Amino acid sequence: MMNWIETKNNEPINLNEIPCLNIVDLRKEILEIKKRVVGFFGQPFGAGVKLFVIMADDEQGKLFVSSAYFNENEKSYDSITKDIPAFHMFEREFFEEFKIKPLKHPWLKPVRNHKKEYPFFEIQGEEIHQVGVGPIHAGVIEPGHFRFMCNGEKVYDLEIRLGYQHRGVEDLFLQNPTNQLAESVCGDSVIAYNLAYSKAMEALLNIEVSNKAQLIRLIALEMERVAIHIGDLGAIAGDTAYQMGNAIFGATRTLVINSLLEISGSRFGRGLIKVGGVNFDIDEKLAQNILKTLEKVGADVKRTTTTMLKSATVISRLERTGVVSYESAKALGLVGMAGRASGVELDSRFDFPDKWFMDKDDKKFKATGDVYSRTRLRYKEIMQSLSLIRKFMRMLPEYKNEPLLVPVNNGLYGEKFVVSIVEGWRGEVIHTAITDNNGRLSRYKIKDPSFNNWYGLAMAVRNNGISDFPLCNKSFNLSYCGNDL
């Protein structure tokens, strides 16, 4: 491991101590280390570009960082994707931003920047027809274009084109990094994004948040997970024409987000988390009210899910629909719920734990990789999160005299590199922050779990009927804005 520097989640390292290799040697190191890629991005450096690579050892809870320098005349390297397919989106993004080409990359297409006509994959044949959906949709969702290659109703291939939103989020963090910006990146993951940002900044400020504030943060994070998963169960019920489930799950989700409203004044938890802690307390009376509400939530979700999954018509739509095999999920680098539903056991709450997440659920989930598996996993995670919330609520009185916020009296440490990983409801939200010698952010890199998982949706739809696409899509529920930074 000479050519890697070892670190942990939210543990700053000295920027100048990160090994810098030539790209040929770094590529060889990546193949030999046999770890999972979680970061692969560039930063202008002198007249050239420095490439940073972050690899994760999930079993040991460790991160390994290395880099390579491209001078101004180096415009290509031998693609890593052809040996490790999970790199395919990372290399496409790096090429799009810095025009350094990964030679022999099998699918080198734009990620976000569509200045020219997008080169869609096409299948030739008299019986093949194309179906285009979006980017403007009848529903109130974000822009994305889906191009299906079909034979009758059967889908041979789906290509997903995103990148219609050009917000410049990462550059905004360099200009004016704030909690308000962090919680606005991805509107259905307010807590996860704000927590990842806050932890990164706290690491660079060398401040430790009180136990009380940490517990309130985690309660909110698990409430966010519960709320979105319940909403998605409702969407899946709706797409199988199980309207009773759709109605009950919708009303039940409201109970959860209204509990977040009671804590912070926002149903999505905006304004709750701040660098240094939290802005709002959960006193004993509020805790009891929330626990009583969540008891009803758990009972309603259990009863409705059990009833729904006893319906033969529902099961016929869910089972063996939208299958992503373990082998495909592993090769493509699927993360979070989408990966776990196919048997890829990644959960950064337990893989990169703090003191609150030490006990991993050893009960094996029977992953089948289909819509049924993604539905059952949502139910399991709702129940798991409700249990965690009860545990954290019971712990709060132990720390009732601790401050909600600790003061931030100093600036960011200079020439540091820190990786902050938070398990949002979709999967790992990763923020990587780099500071210059003046203690200012010089690079802020964000990776949403959807960045890994959109291609998983494309794989899931293959050999299914095109009418199954909405159900497959709901079972993943990926983020457009999380991809279109």
Output the pLDDT for position 93.
97
Three-state DSSP string of 215-268:
HHHHHHHHHHHHHHHHHHHHHHHHHCCCHHHHHHHHHHHHHHHHHHHHHHCCCC
Report CA torsion sign: 27, 28, 29, 33: positive
Give DSSP secondary structure letters for 211-224: HHHHHHHHHHHHHH
Q: Quick one: how far is CA 124 from the chain centroid?
A: 36
| CA proximity to 440, closest of 251, 201, 188 | 201
Is residue 10 within 8 A of residue 413, CB to CB? The reply is no
How many Å separate Cα 445 from the centre of its chain? 13
Give the pLDDT confidence score for residue 362 in this predicted structure: 63
**Residue range(s) in the chain whose domain bears CATH number 1.10.645.10:** 169-476
pLDDT of residue 114: 77
State the architecture of 5-103 in CATH terms: 2-Layer Sandwich (3.30)
Over its length of 485 residues, how does the chain's per-residue pLDDT go in tens digits?
789 999 999 999 999 999 999 999 999 999 999 999 999 999 999 899 999 999 999 999 999 999 999 999 999 999 999 999 999 999 999 999 999 999 999 999 999 887 777 888 988 888 899 999 888 876 668 899 999 999 999 999 999 999 999 899 999 999 999 999 999 999 999 999 999 999 999 999 999 999 999 999 999 999 999 999 999 999 999 999 999 999 999 999 999 999 999 999 999 999 999 999 999 999 999 999 999 999 999 999 999 999 999 999 999 999 999 999 999 999 999 999 999 999 999 999 999 988 887 666 666 789 999 999 999 999 999 999 999 999 999 999 999 999 999 999 889 999 999 999 999 999 999 999 999 999 999 999 999 999 999 999 999 999 999 999 999 999 999 999 999 99
Question: 199, 426 in Cβ contact below 8 A?
Answer: no
Q: How far is CA 369 from the centre of its chain?
A: 18
Nearest to 194 by CA among 207, 180, 204, 208: 180
CATH (one of 1.10.645.10, 3.10.450.50, 1.20.1260.10, 3.40.50.2000) for 169-476: 1.10.645.10
Question: 155: which strand partners?
Answer: 150
**How is residue 245 annotated by DSSP?**
H
The residues of the chain that CATH labels 3.30.460.80 are 5-103
